[in-house]
Amino acid sequence: MARSNLTYPDFEKQVKSGKIQPVYYVLALDNYFLKKAGRLLLEKISGSKDNKENYFIKYADESSPEEIIDLCSNFSSLFSNNKIVIVKRCEKFGKKLESILSYVQNPDKDTTLILSFDKEYAREKKLDKQINFYDFAFLPDEDYIKWVKSLFDARDCKIDSGELSLFVDTVPRIFELVENEVEKIAGYCEEISGEGEKKVTKEVIYKFIGYDTSYSPEDLMVSILSKNSRKSLEILENMIDKHGMNEIYLLTLMSGYYTDLMSAKTKGFESAGMNEIYSKYKIWGDRIGFVKNHRNDIKDDDFEKVFDKIIQTDQKLKTSMLDSKVLLTSLVEELAGI
């Protein structure tokens, strides 16, 4: 079976259209979109997300395949035959998974079954090459940006593209974390706006993502590219020591900046319009201004050295007992010297 590129918005669109499948395979790293999927099915099938008469959440390491199949095939309440069964941690079925897959060949017509697998396990066992999954652990960039914007809209917060870009670029793509951060920002904006418009400014975002406006990842990158080692280390120390920014997360941000700079070096970028820069080069929001201003601050031949140093640092951060701040400090000094 071919690998599927379906994500949660595809699942949502299908369910809302009424074309509900009897069985869904899902990849997940957390429960965020799995919970949303359950609520959506409840609303569509039962008429209310609070009507949990025939709604079951099971775990593969606590229930046998036979129990899951019995639940799907035989159980019904006095009020409705329709059932929703969500089974988490299906990788725990191991070799018994075949029993569930045999049910899938002839599923109960009144049951909607969601089988959720750990994404890394599915990749390791190559299940994603045999089964068409809905990937609930990933959103394409365009969908992710729309989703974040919808979180602010739902809380009546106005956020312009520059501020939205800043938020998207700096908050880790952990869905529950993102929603929590939006909730906190919306609450703060309501406090300070009074009866006026709830406007999300850059200052508000900086306040909640944990660093001063003069000590942002972009400021760090500008200092590195200008070969100002002293300023680079000052910013790094502020972000790590004063505001507790995670070193692996910061390394990911730096890698993203360099990737955008490399994209901006390709032929045609200089004459490209804003829409083309986003659609073709996958650069969005404030990053466009950054790469336009600084793409000539690094030589084409230096990217290989830069990414080699970043990869080495990433491996050491994840596998060695070396102090993470020392590793980042060493990396920043080396990058500022390139």
pLDDT for 101: 84
Summarize the confidence of residues 218-246 as an average pLDDT. 89
The whole-model pTM stands at 0.65
Handedness of CA 265, 270, 272, 276 (dihedral sign): positive
CATH top-level class of 6-135? alpha beta
Has residue 202 got a pLDDT over 90? no
Instruction: Indicate the pLDDT class of residue 4, thresholds 50, 70 and 90.
Output: low
Same topology between domain 6-135 and domain 141-209: no
Q: What percent of the chain has pLDDT over 70?
A: 94
- The torsion region of residue 227 among left (phi > 0), alpha (psi -120 to 50) and beta comes to left
pLDDT for 305: 96
pLDDT for 70: 92
Q: Compute the mean pLDDT over every residue in the chain, rounded to the nearest whole number.
A: 88
pLDDT for 153: 96
The per-residue b/e assignment along 250-277, b for 16 or more CB within 10 angstroms, e otherwise, is bbebbbebbebbbbbeeeebeebeeeeb
Instruction: Indicate the pLDDT class of residue 1, thresholds 50, 70 and 90.
Output: very low
Q: Record the tokens describing residue 144, joined without a space.
A: 């992710």
Render pLDDT for 263-319 as a digit per residue (tens, 0 to 9): 999 888 888 877 777 777 778 766 888 899 999 999 999 999 999 999 999 999 988
pLDDT for 2: 41
pLDDT for 213: 60
Separation of alpha carbons 122 and 128, rounded Å: 6
Separation of alpha carbons 264 and 256, rounded Å: 12
DSSP 8-state symbol, 96: G
pLDDT for 78: 57
Has residue 3 got a pLDDT over 70? no
Render pLDDT for 47-96 as a digit per residue (tens, 0 to 9): 887 878 889 999 999 999 999 999 998 765 556 678 999 999 999 998 88
CATH classification number, 217-336, choose in 1.20.272.10, 2.40.50.100, 3.30.420.40, 3.40.50.2300:
1.20.272.10
Separation of alpha carbons 12 and 19, rounded Å: 10
CATH number of 141-209: 1.10.8
Helix (H) or strand (E) holding 278: helix 274-281
- The torsion region of residue 256 among left (phi > 0), alpha (psi -120 to 50) and beta comes to alpha
In the chain, what are the domain boundaries? 6-135, 141-209, 217-336
Render pLDDT for 100-142 as a digit per residue (tens, 0 to 9): 888 988 999 889 999 999 988 888 888 888 889 999 999 988 8
Q: Are 173 and 143 in contact (CB under 8 A)?
A: no
pLDDT for 324: 92
Separation of alpha carbons 135 and 5, rounded Å: 7
Nearest to 292 by CA among 325, 326, 254, 265: 265
| 134-135/111-118 β-pairing | unpaired
Chain CA centroid to CA 167, Å:
13
pLDDT for 79: 61
Render pLDDT for 133-188 as a digit per residue (tens, 0 to 9): 999 999 988 899 999 999 999 999 999 988 998 888 878 788 988 998 999 999 99
Nearest to 111 by CA among 147, 82, 148, 139: 82
More confident: 4 or 16: 16
